[in-house]
Amino acid sequence: MTTCPYCGHDNEAHTCVGPIPAVPHDGDYSLCIACGFWGIFEGGSIRRPDRIELVGILRNPECMRVMDVWVEVMKLQRLTEAWN
Ligand SMILES: [Zn+2]
């Protein structure tokens, strides 16, 4: 489990983009499912990226696709909440 350095959400599980299940390593990127901010795995926890790392994340096409999916999931969640 890791805690988001932005919103404090405890993320109990992690997954990766790709066909093979992976264990996160130091330096891997992490998107918080609760707030949508990017973090960096380090020493078993998540820290905020520095400016250079953030630019790398924002220029990474896979990260941008993950962000797009996260936004769509949040839209569906809001619609579902509105109907209930
Ligand atoms: Zn968060």
Query: Could you read off the pLDDT of 48-84 as tens digits, one per residue?
Result: 999 999 999 999 999 999 999 999 999 999 999 988 7
The environment of the single-atom ion ligand 1, i.e. residues with CB closer than 5 A, is 4, 6-7, 9, 32, 34-35
pTM: 0.82
Distance from residue 18's CA to the centre of ligand 1 (Å): 22
What residue has token string 């953030």? 54
Model pLDDT for residues 7-47, shown as the tens digit of each residue: 999 988 777 766 677 788 899 999 999 999 999 999 989 99
Structure tokens at 30: 């992490």
Distance from residue 84's CA to the centre of ligand 1 (Å): 25
Distance from residue 76's CA to the centre of ligand 1 (Å): 19
Strand partners, 23: none
Measured CA to CA, the distance from residue 84 to residue 78 in angstroms comes to 10
Query: Phi and psi of 77, rounded to 5°?
Result: -65, -45
